[in-house]
Amino acid sequence: MKIQKRWSCSVFFLFHMTHVAWTQIFQVVGPSSAVLVFVGEDVTLPASLSPVISAQRFEVRWFRDDFFSPVLLYQNLQIRPEHQMQAYEGRTALFTEELLKGNVSLRLQDVRVSDGGLYKCFVDSGPWNEEVHITLNVEVLGNQPSISFGSTEDQQTTLVCKADKWGTTPDLTWRDMNGVDLTSESSVTEERDNEGFLRVSSFIPSSRSSTCSPVS
Ligand SMILES: *[C@@H]1O[C@H](CO)[C@@H](O)[C@H](O)[C@H]1NC(C)=O
């Protein structure tokens, strides 16, 4: 009897190992480079299981810094909004039909500047789990610049070119009516507004009429 017991035990063990090896081990595959999106647009962070197996019965957890307050959590066959980061409320989805094909991509709507950064997609089948890291870069195209008169501390009249709502510092060029580049005569200040956008002001002596054009 003893022998039989041991035999069935190792058969179970073998079966268990084969089961894990052949049906449960997977990788989560993401894009090879960062995902780029403009502020206000929708974006998909692509992730899928390799080999292609259904993720329908798995846990899919998209999170940033805190594992326990996810951007999106799918567990027990449904999306669980209870612990979702507030900033993502109503803006995230999975492609639920696609879960059968191992597609665990995250849909993110109405992207904000603060959405930029690292995302982790953690997939857990029970006996096995894996995660992939994806960077989202949020690009901001600033407003058209405006030119006005201003004065410096020593009461000199200047032209001021103001450009706001930029995500990164734009290259700003001043030209006179003949197209001559006057940028070297200008000075630039920049500050962040309360939404995190950059506001750039460039000053140039007003003795010559000029145009300015910021580009990202
Ligand atoms: C997942 O499904 C979505 C929606 O059909 C599709 O846009 C996306 O390309 C798929 N991603 C992968 C990695 O298969």
pLDDT digits (tens, 9 = 90+) for 122-167: 999 999 999 999 999 998 877 778 888 887 677 778 889 988 888 7
pLDDT digits (tens, 9 = 90+) for 164-214: 888 778 888 898 888 899 999 998 999 988 877 888 999 988 765 667 777
- Report CA(103)–ligand 1 centroid distance (Å): 6
Helical H runs in the chain? 2-19
- Lowest mean pLDDT across 10-24, 32-46, 103-117, 164-178: 10-24
Residue 57's closest CA among 124, 143, 145?
A: 124
More confident residue, 123 or 15: 123
Question: pTM here?
Answer: 0.66
The predicted model gives 70-98 an average pLDDT of 95
pLDDT of residue 9: 47
Residue 166's closest CA among 141, 130, 149?
A: 141
More confident residue, 8 or 172: 172
More confident residue, 48 or 163: 48
Of 94, 103, 106, 134, the one to substitute when testing ligand 1's pocket (max ligand atoms within 8 A of C-beta) is 103
Please give the mean pLDDT across all residues of the chain: 86
User: Is a pLDDT exceeding 60 seen at residue 8?
Assistant: no
**CA distance linking residue 84 with residue 89, whole number of Å:** 7
CATH topology of domain 27-139: Immunoglobulin-like (2.60.40)
The predicted model gives 24-49 an average pLDDT of 95
- Report CA(45)–ligand 1 centroid distance (Å): 9
pLDDT band at 119 (very low <50, low <70, confident <90, very high): very high
Each domain of the chain, given as residue ranges in start order, spans 27-139, 146-215
CATH topology of domain 146-215: Immunoglobulin-like (2.60.40)
Give the DSSP letter of residue 105: P
- Report CA(105)–ligand 1 centroid distance (Å): 6
- Report CA(68)–ligand 1 centroid distance (Å): 26
Q: Report which protein residue has its CA nearest ligand 1's atom 3.
A: 95
| C-alpha separations of 65 from 7, 70, 172 in Å | 47, 9, 35
**CA distance linking residue 40 with residue 113, whole number of Å:** 9
The predicted model gives 100-122 an average pLDDT of 96
Same topology, domains 27-139 and 146-215? Answer is yes
pLDDT of residue 1: 44
User: Is a pLDDT exceeding 70 seen at residue 13?
Assistant: no
